[in-house]
């Protein structure tokens, strides 16, 4: 079965077929580094990570490029409002570049903690001004620009595919009801390629250009940097759904206008929002939660990753601490089941043995279900269900279960092997499964013989070793407390 991906451009799921056999160019819009990423932004990057890991697991050689926006992004995506970087620098009494460096580091510290694989290429907008100017010149040469009110604009009326991605009808393009009107624009959806007469007298970063000293509009950086590193046509472009209507529509217009190549990108992948009390979590509203906030409350970053995987990336996900709490409990119980399985498989040494083990029998079937789930437009909820099925399968050999689970974890990124290793090495003095089960057998016999004092003594001894017993009509189960 092949990977089927939902393509926003076509509004349908279609089999994935890269431009070149075995090689994939992937561009995901990166953060604007004027503040911490909130956990909604991080949903976008976990989505990219799952897709990239899925492709790599299938043997594709993926080049993942991510931009860092450190110039030109205004508070409104369509050239209205303040410059986000300048405002943040002023509020914090720092330079724009200091702010950018601080929040870029914070961003990667978050993505590392979420076990998101780092991109192959991370490119800063301010390092690529020459590439942007070169691209704008190409767009200008092909007749898609006009100069007005001190800025160079892209004229969307010259580009027949404008609005294809957002499925905008030609009539709605004229309406202009959406946004504050910039009197220099011919059409409301035209957008700035290069600001010269800056509306921000305090703009710290400006560069010489054929259109005068100034700075680039926000959208051009993604066209310039993606094509620099991935070529003029590439396979996948990803971001949150808020980018469909303006940012990605403008990226397509600029790129195809410059090269004359259509389509620029083959698959457009967009994640839905993480919402808080039914409203989109957003950086500018200030009411957002960071990864550090939830870590400070005692959760692990992997609890949040697990929470995200419980929802499909194209469905809105409602965040609440109650749901995070159940994700944590669920991950704990998963890890404790794995601990049992690993103990039965031979303890610490079994972890290396299981890694890279070819799955067989029933475990291979769970793995096939898991792969089918991901192939079906990255259904992580179904993939997690397959992992649970595997864990609960008491007929398969523990070593086979571990091997299949580690293989699933190549995509899920829950650090199963690492967490288990930590668990084993931190508790070398713990009782092993055989010792625990032997003690339980003695206790069961004592209870049968109505020797309750001895039974209680064994229960307490086990408790002191961190092993909790639970009696039920079907027998006694145990867990590490």
Structure tokens at 461: 């001894």
Q: Which is nearer to Zn ion, 222 or 458 (CB)?
A: 222
For residue 417, give the nearest of 351, 357, 356 by alpha carbon.
351
Site string for ligand AMP, 24-63 (x = CB under 6 A): -----x-xx-------xx-xx-------------------
* Euclidean distance between the first and the last CA atom of the chain, given in angstroms as a whole number: 42
Tell me the three state secondary structure of residue 146: strand
226-265: contacts with ligand AMP (CB under 6 A): 239-240, 242-243
In whole angstroms, the minimum distance from the beta carbon of 272 to Zn ion comes to: 18
d(CA 216, CA 225): 13
In whole angstroms, the minimum distance from the beta carbon of 458 to ligand AMP comes to: 51
Q: Which is nearer to Zn ion, 29 or 230 (CB)?
A: 29
For residue 85, give the nearest of 126, 123, 129, 118 by alpha carbon.
126
d(CA 30, CA 36): 13
From the list ligand AMP, Zn ion, none, partner contacted by residue 222 (C-beta under 5 to 8 A by kind): Zn ion
Q: Which helix (H) or strand (E) holds 266?
A: strand 265-271
Q: Which is nearer to ligand AMP, 35 or 145 (CB)?
A: 35
The residue written with tokens 């059409």 in the block is: 187
**Residue nearest ligand AMP by beta-carbon distance:** 240
For residue 84, give the nearest of 97, 70, 98 by alpha carbon.
70
In whole angstroms, the minimum distance from the beta carbon of 303 to ligand AMP comes to: 18
In whole angstroms, the minimum distance from the beta carbon of 57 to ligand AMP comes to: 23
In whole angstroms, the minimum distance from the beta carbon of 222 to Zn ion comes to: 3
From the list ligand AMP, Zn ion, none, partner contacted by residue 240 (C-beta under 5 to 8 A by kind): ligand AMP
Q: Which of 280, 357, 382, 397 binds ligand AMP (CB under 6 A)?
A: 280
Q: Which is nearer to ligand AMP, 77 or 303 (CB)?
A: 77
Q: Which of 271, 363, 379, 407 binds ligand AMP (CB under 6 A)?
A: 271
Tell me the three state secondary structure of residue 66: strand
What Cα–Cα distance (Å) separates residue 22 from each residue in 7, 18, 19, 265, 374? 20, 8, 9, 17, 18
In whole angstroms, the minimum distance from the beta carbon of 281 to ligand AMP comes to: 4
Q: Which is nearer to ligand AMP, 289 or 386 (CB)?
A: 289
d(CA 182, CA 189): 10
Quick check: 273 and 316 in contact, CB under 8 A? Answer: yes
What phi and psi, each to the nearest 5 degrees, are found at residue 215? -150, 160
Residues engaged in binding Zn ion (CB under 5 A): 29, 222
In whole angstroms, the minimum distance from the beta carbon of 43 to ligand AMP comes to: 4
Structure tokens at 163: 């609005």
For residue 190, give the nearest of 165, 213, 163 by alpha carbon.
163
Q: How many CB atoms lie within 10 A of CB 433?
A: 18
In whole angstroms, the minimum distance from the beta carbon of 251 to ligand AMP comes to: 12
Q: Which helix (H) or strand (E) holds 237?
A: strand 234-240
Q: Is 72 in the site for ligand AMP (CB under 6 A)?
A: no
Site string for ligand AMP, 193-232 (x = CB under 6 A): ----------------------------------------
Residues that bind ligand AMP (CB under 6 A): 29, 31-32, 40-41, 43-44, 239-240, 242-243, 271, 273-274, 280-283
């Amino acid at each position: 079965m092949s990977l089927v991906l939902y393509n926003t451009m076509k509004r349908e799921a279609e089999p994935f077929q890269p431009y070149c056999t075995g090689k994939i160019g992937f561009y995901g819009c990166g953060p604007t580094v004027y503040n911490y990423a909130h956990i909604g932004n991080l949903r976008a990057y976990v989505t990219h990570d799952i897709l990239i890991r899925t492709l790599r697991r299938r043997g594709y050689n993926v080049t993942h490029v991510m931009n860092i926006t450190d110039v030109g992004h205004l508070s409104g995506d369509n050239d209205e409002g303040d410059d986000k970087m300048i405002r943040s620098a002023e509020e914090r009494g720092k330079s724009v570049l200091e702010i950018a460096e601080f929040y870029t580091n914070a961003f990667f510290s978050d993505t590392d903690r979420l076990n998101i694989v780092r991109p192959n290429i991370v490119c800063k907008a301010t390092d690529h001004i020459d590439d942007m100017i070169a691209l704008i010149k190409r767009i200008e040469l092909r007749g898609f620009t006009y100069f007005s009110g001190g800025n160079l604009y892209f004229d969307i009326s010259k580009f027949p595919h404008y609005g294809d991605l957002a499925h905008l009808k030609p009539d709605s393009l004229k309406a202009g009801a959406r946004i504050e009107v910039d009197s220099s624009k011919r059409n409301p959806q035209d957008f700035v390629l290069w600001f010269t007469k800056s509306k921000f007298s305090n703009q710290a970063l400006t560069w010489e250009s054929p259109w005068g000293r100034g700075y680039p509009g926000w959208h051009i950086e993604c066209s310039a940097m993606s094509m620099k590193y991935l070529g003029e046509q590439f396979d996948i472009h990803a971001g949150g759904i808020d980018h469909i209507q303006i940012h990605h529509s403008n990226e397509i217009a600029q790129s195809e206008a410059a090269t004359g190549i259509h389509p620029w990108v083959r698959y457009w992948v967009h994640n839905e929002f993480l919402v808080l009390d039914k409203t989109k979590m957003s950086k500018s509203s200030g009411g957002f939660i960071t990864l550090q906030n939830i870590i400070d409350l005692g959760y692990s970053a992997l609890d949040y990753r697990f929470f995200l995987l419980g929802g499909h990336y194209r469905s809105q996900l409602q965040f609440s601490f109650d749901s995070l709490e159940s994700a944590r409990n669920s991950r704990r119980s998963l890890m404790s089941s794995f601990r049992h399985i690993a103990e039965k498989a031979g303890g610490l040494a079994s972890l290396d043995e299981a890694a890279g083990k070819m799955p067989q029998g029933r475990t291979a079937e769970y793995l096939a279900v898991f792969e089918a789930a991901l192939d079906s437009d990255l259904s992580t909820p179904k993939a997690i269900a397959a992992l649970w099925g595997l864990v609960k399968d008491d007929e398969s050999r523990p070593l086979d279960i571990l091997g299949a689970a580690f293989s699933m974890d190549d995509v899920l990124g829950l650090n199963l092997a690492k967490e288990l290793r930590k668990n084993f090495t931190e508790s070398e003095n713990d009782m092993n499964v055989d010792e625990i089960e032997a003690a339980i057998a003695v206790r069961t016999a004592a209870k049968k013989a109505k020797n309750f004092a001895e039974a209680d003594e064994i229960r307490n001894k086990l408790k002191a070793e961190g092993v909790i017993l639970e009696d039920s009509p079907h027998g006694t189960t145990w867990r590490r407390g």
